[in-house]
A and B are shown apart, each in its own frame.
Chain A
């Protein structure tokens, strides 16, 4: 009875034709309107995005869509026009960052050319679009998605567009199932859709069992359930009615729009209504309001808390238990469970054994076909559905029929099985960029890949600077798969949900084990690689556009020169574990929350990179580390904002990143350094300490937890090292003069004069070229981290290494902000040096450092007080304006209040006062600052005694909610208005 009939086989094969009929409408040609950087992510062959596309090829992406890129709106319109008729675009995806037109206007223009063409707006943050400008016609955009750097979304949005185009045909042709997601918030559907698609793919693939031939596997995947997105009650109802026979499940938010208004329980009403019509349908109700669980229970719907950090797991469970992806449960008619089947083979076996009444019970209710359908075995499912149980003479006939058909289907599938195997032919000398695991590279590594491509595409750069190696350091990336398997093997999932303190996280992660497969690869790697390494994070969220998690995660350096390979491996894995742990540190979570990402979305890739530098005695460090930004927020003298600004320091980059004393200059005018004008200024502003990696005489277990194995050294102690001698000047006390050479006797002062004034190494020119290149490539203002290794050997080239490139937010503004004279007149604060752009009417709270009680030596205590007020305002969800003197976030407590990001994470705007008491340079450049600007926090410098002002009398007359030793917190009845004209750097704050 298990024999295979050739006829059956043929029949099944012919059934495959159905698959060919499915998913007829495909998005083959996408017009991607964006900066070159975004395009790179989707298009570049072998790029992370396309790898992910391949890995998820189960999603019917046997032919990934072709992407045509337009880097401006006008180019896009030309392409659409010219190609009309010849090459049709199926979809337009546009980013908001276009040079010449905003996305809404572009959408309208496109609709004018082709009303049917879907136009999707992909934004980096809801801030980019909300609130919609009142007078703006947004009908040109079909759907808005929020991209948090996860390439899955690109697939999801393409697939979702295809699904909605194909659903009608496919349901009719092959009974393909329909899953409806009802959700109105782009933030949530942008994160759910990829989750659902991923889960569907995973589930479908899981049930496909082993041994499908690749092509058939792909074809089979076409029959996966369709996912339709409805954004309001009416739309959802319409879809439900239309596809009622094919409904597979409904996932709905609770508060959704009904009749054009958000109704708190519209989602519940919707589900209740459908429940009446299709009683067995699995329902899932989402809500950020946990109390809605009761309602869900009323209609027997599964309930998820939207805020739960564990959504993915819960979704997974829902798929298994409710949507039929789990085991087939054999029951007796009275509901008693007899046995289970997890796959087709098992089903076949169990069917042979179960009692007749159970068999008939399931057959009559189409349970077999449903369960098989969930596995996309359309032919089989359809075949089973087409016959009625009553048609069989006996239960045994039915049983035989089922078994033969299941078996034939399985047998056929065994043909042409393909296993994937990737051999390891690692050669450290040749391979510059390698990856372990199938997951994502993460934002930082992706930008490294982009830079690598950029350098490759611009050979003129290498010709212009023949004396310099310009490259990225040799890189190994452990993809997010490593993280995921580490977390799941060690059962560390809880850390996403529960806020442990950093030490607890660290301890648990250090005690966990690196997965065996990963460990083996790392060992193979270390057998060849024996130079010092830096180990740092590359999270999915980090460095995605407009979300630099700059400096939030840790970087660890290891000497990697121990004679014992075991020891080296131990050092490397310790560093990796610590990087993993930093995902769940408090500051990372705090930042993630304030960037409206959910910590559970965070998956970490790890970049292991050759540390740039040279050995000097017991130490290893690069001559210069630095950060250059393409936009200068504080242009002084003749510098212009677009000339950019650089910060450089001797040694490893921590000096610059932490905002310690470093040299700041505009690459266009390296000769002009206002902070270095007089001898006294130079003496007090020059770098005193630097960071180096100790590569000899270090403790066996290194010192990961203190300074990531780095040692803080005084410039004075390294006077004889080549970079110090070369880059320093010498102070001559007898003449009170600084001479631009490090080869005299006397105190060494790091002025970098040889590089900046005498062009010993053309750093300024190179930086000018690179920011230009980067700005064009990313389509926005950028920030580059780099290091330079000056060769002391005339026959050897010096090295310039790109360490990182990420966007700044300075120039991303589109819509104009005008400040009226009337507004200036009634303002309580005005600034002519403000960062950010736009209008903010969310704040009614002002927290300020009382000018009378401000004392430079008390700044630490002020930071503590700010932390407390911040925590309470954060809890109340009240964004606030923070006002105080000096550099916010300076690690030098003598220059300002040394707050950390988490101490002020609830601010919406900050004012940095400069007055007689504190005249520090404005605080541009630190990583902290980048975080502030990337979150769209307005940063306002008020120089008292100039045209700027802050009305102390007015604010003092407002009643205080709270007053501490140094702070005063006032709350206005109505929110005040803050306006910044980013082009003119002007700001006013006033009450209406």
Chain B
């Protein structure tokens, strides 16, 4: 294992982000490597760290002043063992080969974990959309696609949006692809609803986290019915987490934003949730305004002099961190335990610090790491591809139903992997291993290609 790290460092010195990603992944699947000596024979690690294809290309475009600008475009086609390359495009000045390889590498296993047939990839450019006019952005996207189009396709590589690439950019990119290829296919995900996009996109992550939590509870023969839940955040993920918890009979007592949090002992019901949605999505206000409307709730402003988040210090059964990175530290984790929380399902990306994760694992509560429980977003991308390929558009209910099934199978994959490797109920290990094993087995099956 040390060999493989030395190899990539020697071969691509300076790609620090990529080196780190490889180290972390390999570290997390150590039991798998130990148990499967045949991987060495087939040089699985050597192969998996080497992108199947890297495309770097010139993107010249003309700005509004008639001045020609040149940017660099990338597409990393990391791994197609289990499906077409799939991963976002990022337009940001910080974009470089190392960062994209790192993202593509992680994407490969994330996608594999969804149990859908999607390979891994990533791409983008050092183009900065900030301070550019709509027309400039369009001209850039068109020039970018003028090269990229020959490397992608609905059965080859299906990009999506990422930082700097939103609905507007996806539209421009897709339009140019369609013109060049003279075919309307599902070559992108994250499209607008009118021309191939899928429903349930905003809801997917929140719903998914709750579905995953339900599955976890089901292993203990219980459900969300009657459970008191702490939810942090108040954006899309938090809102749809609350919505689904309410659907499933649970009770939510907290929400937060960067300025503070509210605690509503009576529970945030559907009407109150509707108010929060308006407040945050339409009026773009602060969560503190909640208590102006519902005086039974208590607002607590962020206090940075204390080293814990009081939101996690309320009596509850379940916690859904849905706000931001590192919002649960060791002390918060201890508070959760003390308050009887038996389930933590992460909707945000890496909301728990490693120390907090250790506490959850040691206490053997139901803890779902984000890479498993927030896979709903990626799952809906897969569902968008499926709908495009079938030329069918599912209703909200159908997409939701399939999302539920996917989350269920992700859960099952985690359970199976953790059981297989002797860590029954450890979703962290289960998630790490399940994705990896799926990719590696496919590579083995398909021979040396």
Query: For chain A residues 666-715, which have a beta carbon within 8 Å of chain B?
Result: 669, 671-674, 677-679, 683-684, 686, 688, 714-715
Nearest CB of chain A from residue B170's CB, rounded to whole Å: 9
Q: Is the CB of A671 within 8 A of B133?
A: yes
Smallest Cβ distance from B1 to chain A, in angstroms? 35
Is A564 positioned at the interface, with any CB of B under 8 Å from its CB? no
| Contact of B64 (CB < 8 Å), options: A671, A735, A747 | A671
Within 8 A of A (CB), among B123-176: 129-135, 164, 166-168
Task: Tell me whether A133 is interfacial, beta carbon within 8 Å.
Answer: no
Chain A residues within an 8 Å CB radius of B199: 734
- Other-chain residue from B63, B167, B282, B302 in contact with A857 (beta carbon distance below 8 A): B302
- In the assembly, what is the distance between CA of A714 and CA of B284, in Å? 10
A716 to B280, CA, bound (A): 12
B281 touches A733 (CB 8 A): yes
The answer, yes or no, to whether A462 is at the interface (CB within 8 Å) is no
Q: How far is the CA of A732 from the CA of B201 in the complex (A)?
A: 12
Pair B135/A733 contact, Cβ less than 8 Å:
no
State whether the Cβ of A415 lies closer than 8 Å to any Cβ in chain B.
no
What separation, in Å, do the CA atoms of A731 and B281 have in the docked complex?
9
The 0/1 profile, CB within 8 Å of A marked 1, for residues 294-314 of chain B is 000000011110000000000
B303 partner residues in chain A, CB cutoff 8 A: 857
How many Å from the CB of B427 to the closest CB on chain A? 29
* Contact pick for A688, options B133, B192, B193, B284, CB 8 Å: B284
User: In residues 281-336 of chain B, which contact A (Cβ within 8 Å)?
Assistant: 281-285, 301-304
B119 proximal to A (CB < 8 A): no
Residue of A nearest to B301 (CB): A857
Main secondary structure of the interface of B (DSSP, over half): loop
- Contact partners of A858 in chain B: CB under 8 A: 304
Q: Is the CB of B132 within 8 A of A736?
A: no
- A735 and B167 contacting across the interface, CB-CB below 8 Å: yes
Contact yes or no, A737 B168, CB < 8 A? yes
Chain A residues whose CB sits within 8 angstroms of the CB of B63 once the complex forms:
638
The one of B134, B259, B281, B283 in contact with A894, judged by C-beta atoms closer than 8 angstroms, is B259
With an 8 A cutoff between CB atoms, is A636 at the interface? yes
Q: A683-B284, A688-B284, A855-B304 in contact; A678/B192 too (CB < 8 A)? A: no
Interface contact B64-A857, CB-CB below 8 Å? no
Task: Judge whether B132 and A679 touch: CB under 8 Å.
Answer: no
Q: Which residues of A contact B202 (CB under 8 A)?
A: 733-734, 736
Are B135 and A736 within 8 A (Cβ)?
no
Known contacts A686-B284, A734-B202, A757-B134; is-contact A677 B167 (Cβ 8 Å): no
Contact A679 B129, beta carbon cutoff 8 Å: no
Is the beta-carbon distance between A716 and B283 smaller than 8 angstroms? Answer: yes
B121 in the interface (beta carbon within 8 A): no
Contacts of A679 on B, CB cut-off 8 Å? 166-167
Interface centre among A677, A679, A731 (most CB of B within 10 A): A677
A715: which B residues are within 8 A, CB to CB? 283
A637 interface residue per 8 A CB criterion: yes
Known contacts A735-B192, A857-B304, A672 near B284 by CB under 8 Å: no
A672 touches B259 (CB 8 A): no
A460-492 toward B: CB 8 Å interface, digit per residue (1/0)?
000000000000000000000000000000000
Please, which residue of chain B has its CB at the minimum distance from the CB of A661? B284
Task: Quote the shortest CB–CB distance from B398 to chain A (angstroms).
Answer: 15
Contacts of B134 in A (CB 8 A): 671, 757
Q: Does B94 contact A (CB under 8 A)?
A: no
Cβ contact of A734, chosen from B130, B201, B283, B302, cutoff 8 A: B201
B182 at the interface (CB under 8 A from A): no
- Is B65's beta carbon under 8 Å from chain A? yes
Q: Which residue of A lies closest to B260 (CB)?
A: A857
**Smallest Cβ distance from B201 to chain A, in angstroms?**
7
Bound Cα distance from A669 to B285, whole angstroms: 30
Q: Is there an interface contact between A716 and B166, defined as CB atoms closer than 8 Å?
A: no
CB-defined contacts of A677 to chain B, threshold 8 Å: 129-132
A953 to chain B, nearest CB (A): 25
Instruction: Tell me if A688 and B285 are in contact (CB < 8 A).
Output: yes
Contact of A672 (CB < 8 Å), options: B132, B168, B278: B132
> B197 on the interface (CB 8 Å rule)?
yes
Query: A636: which B residues are within 8 A, CB to CB?
Result: 131
With a cutoff of 8 Å between Cβ atoms, the chain B residues found around residue A748 in the complex are 282
In the complex, which of the residues A636, A684, A735 has the most CB atoms of chain B within 10 Å of its own CB atom?
Answer: A735
Distance between Cα atoms of A683 and B283 in the complex (Å): 10
Beta-carbon nearest neighbor of A674 in chain B: B131
- The distance in angstroms between the C-alpha atoms of A737 and B304, with both chains bound, is 34
What's the minimum C-beta distance from B280 to chain A, rounded to whole angstroms?
10
Say how far B128's CB is from chain A's closest CB, in angstroms. 9
Interface set, chain A 580-639, CB cutoff 8 A to B: 636-638
Inter-chain CA distance A857–B257, complex, in Å, is: 13
**Chain B nearest Cβ from A651, distance in angstroms:** 16
Interface string of B198-213 (1 = CB under 8 A from A): 0101100000000000
Q: In the complex, what's the smallest C-beta–C-beta distance from B276 to chain A, in angstroms?
A: 14
Q: Are B164 and A678 in contact (CB under 8 A)?
A: yes
CA distance A858 to B304 in the complex (A): 9
1/0 per residue, CB under 8 A from A, across B259-291: the answer is: 100000000000000000010011111000000
For B130, the chain A residues whose CB sits under 8 A away are 637, 674, 677-678
Inter-chain CA distance A515–B130, complex, in Å, is 58
Residues in A with CB closer than 8 Å to B167 are 679, 735-737
Tell me if A678 and B166 are in contact (CB < 8 A).
yes
Report the separation of the CA atoms of residues A684 and B130 in the bound assembly, to the nearest whole angstrom: 15
Q: Would B283 and A737 count as touching, CB distance under 8 A?
A: no
**Residues B133 and A672 in contact, CB atoms below 8 Å apart:** yes
Quick one: closest A residue to B192, CB to CB? A735
Task: From the candidates B132, B193, B282, name the one contacting A716 in the complex (CB within 8 A).
Answer: B282
Q: Which residues of A contact B65 (CB under 8 A)?
A: 638
Within 8 A of B (CB), among A704-749: 714-716, 731-737, 747-748
Residues of chain B with a CB closer than 8 A to A731's CB: 281-282
Residue of A nearest to B171 (CB): A737
Which residues of A have CB within 8 Å of B64?
A: 669, 671
> Which B residues are CB-close (under 8 A) to A733?
202, 236, 281
A855 to B131, CA, bound (A): 29
8 A Cβ contacts from A845-860 to B = 855, 857-858
**B131 cross-chain contacts in A, Cβ below 8 A:** 636-638, 672-674, 677
| Alpha-carbon gap, A736 to B283, bound state (A) | 16
Give chain B nearest CB distance to A966 CB in angstroms: 12
Q: Out of B129, B193, B201, B281, name the residue touching A747 (CB < 8 Å).
A: B281
Q: Tell me, in angstroms, the Cα distance from A714 to B201 when the chains sit together.
A: 28
Q: What A residues does B132 contact at CB under 8 A?
A: 637, 672, 677
13 contacts between A and B (CB under 8 A): A636-B131, A638-B63, A638-B131, A669-B133, A671-B133, A672-B133, A715-B283, A733-B202, A733-B281, A735-B167, A735-B192, A747-B281, A894-B259
A interface residues with partner B (beta carbon < 8 Å): 636-638, 669, 671-674, 677-679, 683-684, 686, 688, 714-716, 731-737, 747-748, 757, 855, 857-858, 894
Give 15 A-B pairs besides A678-B166, A733-B281 with Cβ atoms closer than 8 angstroms: A638-B63, A669-B64, A673-B131, A674-B130, A677-B130, A678-B130, A678-B164, A731-B282, A732-B192, A734-B193, A734-B197, A735-B192, A736-B167, A748-B282, A757-B134
Interface on B for A, CB 8 Å cutoff? 63-65, 129-135, 164, 166-168, 192-193, 197, 199, 201-202, 236, 258-259, 278, 281-285, 301-304
